[in-house]
Every structure is written in C-alpha cells, then in structure tokens.
Amino acid sequence: MGLGGWTGIQQPGSSGDAGFDNIMTVTSQTCSNGNCCTEGSFCSYACPAGYQKSQWPTKQGATGQSVGGIQCVNGKLRLTNPSLSKKLCMAGTEKVSVQVVNKMSQNAAVCRTDYPGTEGEAVPLDAQPGTTSNLTCPDGANYYNWKGAPTSAQYYVNPKGVSVKDACQWGTAAKPWGNFAPLNLGVGYSAGSAWLSIFQNAPTTDAKLDFSIEIVGNHGGYENLSGRCKYENGQYCSGEHYESCSKTTGCTISVSSGSATFVFSS
C-alpha cells in the first residue's frame, strides 16, 4: 500500500458536534518515507483471517463518512474503542462459521473493504489452491453501526491468479482488479441468521469473473441453508435446482447455524 504497513490512514481537518469534517485520506504520494501515521491521524490495519479490526472512534464523519483505526495522540498509538475491545482484532459471529475453499490450481485474492475507514478494498485474504480460509462474518449486534444501523462486510473477488498485492488496492478500469474486481461477496449476521450474498460489482464494472462460486452448507450439503446461490458462466443462479439465473442480479441465502462455505472452482 505504500503506507508504512497500514491499510488506510485518515486525517480529519476539523471536528465539531456533528463529527469530523475535511477528512483527508493519506496516499503513498503524501506519505513521507514510510512515516504515515502522524499526529492526530486515524490509522487502520488488517487482522488475520476470521478476525476484523475492533477500533474506531465514537465520533464519525459529519456528513456520513466512516472513520476507523487507532489514533496517534502525543506520539503514541491509542485505542479508539476500548469499550468494545482492548485488543486490536476481534472475531466475527460465533453463531455461524463462514469459510472460503479454493478448489482451483491458482490463488484467488479476496479483498475486504477497510470499513469503517477509507473504504478501500485493502484487507487481504489470499485463498491459495487447495486451502480452506476463514471469512469474517460481522455480528451486527456488536460491530460498527452507521447512523444507527448495523453493517456487514463486503469482499471483492478478483480473477484467479492475481496477487493480493495487485488486487487489494485501488485499481483502474484497464484491469478487472481491486475496486474494478468483477464480483462481490456480502457477509453479515443479524436477526438470528448469517446473510451471504454473491453479486456483480455494479455499476462499477460489467466484467465477469473467470471462475465459479457456490455457497454450500454443512458437509457440503444445503440442508442448513435457506436456499441455493451460485455464480457460474457469467450468471447468478438460485432456486432448488439453480433454475433461476440472471447475468446482472445476484443472489442471497441465510443460515442460522452450522457452517457456510464459498466454494471457488474452475
């Protein structure tokens, strides 16, 4: 990222009763010799697979911007949300286990948005061939709220073989990487269920992912899922036999217990 190891850095220009305003996002061009997390900055970070950052300030953006991370105060890094956790990282819900399985011969870069924060897709999960990785499912009851409403996680899925170094940062329309990745996964827990979605990264791009993704439940079956959802050959399909398909409209299922797995395959 060129940010001295941080996934995103924000520097509020002013602060009032309504929140922070004139929030500047630090870039690698404005970061001096790796010394990026300077006095007053909010500095975000990535956590291991299955975990998510626990720190963001109570005061947020005055016009709805999200602000996240720990803060540099008097030359020291301070927790900004110690009432939630005094650790930097926290697990997602324990009610449902969510994973990614890569059955392909190449890696797949899955990049979570750094939220609350810069909202860049900078939190990396490098799903290597033949591996199973945990995917964090935020619990809406104890995670970040935006204007009083619970939030979920969004993951950008890049074409196979693209490294996380190339994939998990702002991209350009020239290549279907980063914020131009073809497909998104939505993951969150609320109202007693985990809600899992597969959908096109619209309106940013109409590019199609070059592999298939299917959601399966316990032991590779579907019994604990509310329905079926998969992406294959450029289409998003649902229904008991995947009979309902669309090139543009994604699909969503819920699961209240057990496990749910996004299976990547060629």
Summarised one tens digit per residue, pLDDT across range 230-262 is: 999 999 999 999 999 999 999 999 999 999 999
Q: Which of 229, 234, 246 is nearest to 207 (CA)?
A: 234
pLDDT of 143 higher than 80: yes
Mean pLDDT of the chain: 95
The answer to whether residues 28 and 35 touch, using CB atoms and an 8 Å cutoff, is no
Q: Which segment of 1-15, 23-37, 80-94, 189-203 scores lowest on mean pLDDT?
A: 23-37
pLDDT of 85 higher than 90: yes
Same domain, 128 and 252: yes
Q: What is the reported pLDDT for 175?
A: 94
pLDDT of 194 higher than 90: yes
Same domain, 145 and 85: no
Same domain, 69 and 106: no
The answer to whether residues 224 and 163 touch, using CB atoms and an 8 Å cutoff, is no
Which domain, by its residues, includes 40? Answer: 8-90
Structure tokens at 212: 């298939």
- For residues 148 and 73, which has the higher predicted lDDT (pLDDT)? 73
**CATH number, domain with residue 178:** 2.60.110
The residue among 31, 57, 90 that closes a domain is: 90
The residue among 74, 90, 106 that closes a domain is: 90
Same domain, 116 and 247: yes
Length in residues, the chain: 266
What CA–CA distance (Å, rounded) separates 103 from 28? 35
233 HSE (CA, 13 A, CB side): 3
Q: pLDDT by residue (tens digit) across 39-70?
A: 999 999 999 999 999 999 999 999 999 999 99
Q: What's the mean pLDDT in 148-173?
A: 95
The residue among 38, 66, 90 that closes a domain is: 90
Q: What is the reported pLDDT for 113?
A: 97
Q: Supply angle C-alpha 113, 203, 210, rounded to 5.
A: 75
pLDDT of 33 higher than 90: no
The answer to whether residues 180 and 204 touch, using CB atoms and an 8 Å cutoff, is yes
Q: Which of 12, 115, 112, 98 is nearest to 55 (CA)?
A: 115
Structure tokens at 127: 């799903």
Provide the 10 A C-beta neighbour count for residue 123.
Answer: 26
The answer to whether residues 147 and 62 touch, using CB atoms and an 8 Å cutoff, is no
The answer to whether residues 11 and 41 touch, using CB atoms and an 8 Å cutoff, is yes
pLDDT of 32 higher than 90: no
Q: What is the reported pLDDT for 1?
A: 86
Same domain, 40 and 104: no
Q: How many domains does the chain have?
A: 2
What CA–CA distance (Å, rounded) separates 250 from 248? 6
pLDDT of 8 higher than 90: yes
Structure tokens at 222: 């579907």
Q: What is the reported pLDDT for 238?
A: 97
Q: What's the mean pLDDT in 158-178?
A: 94
Q: What is the reported pLDDT for 14?
A: 86
Dihedral angle sign, alpha carbons of residues 60, 58, 10, 7: negative
Query: pLDDT grade, residue 137 (50/70/90)?
Result: very high
Q: What's the mean pLDDT in 72-81?
A: 97
Which phi and psi (to 5°) does residue 220 adopt? Answer: 80, 5
What proportion of the chain, given as a percentage, has pLDDT over 70? 100
pTM value is: 0.95
Structural domain contains residue 1: no
What CA–CA distance (Å, rounded) separates 207 from 247? 11
Structural domain contains residue 207: yes
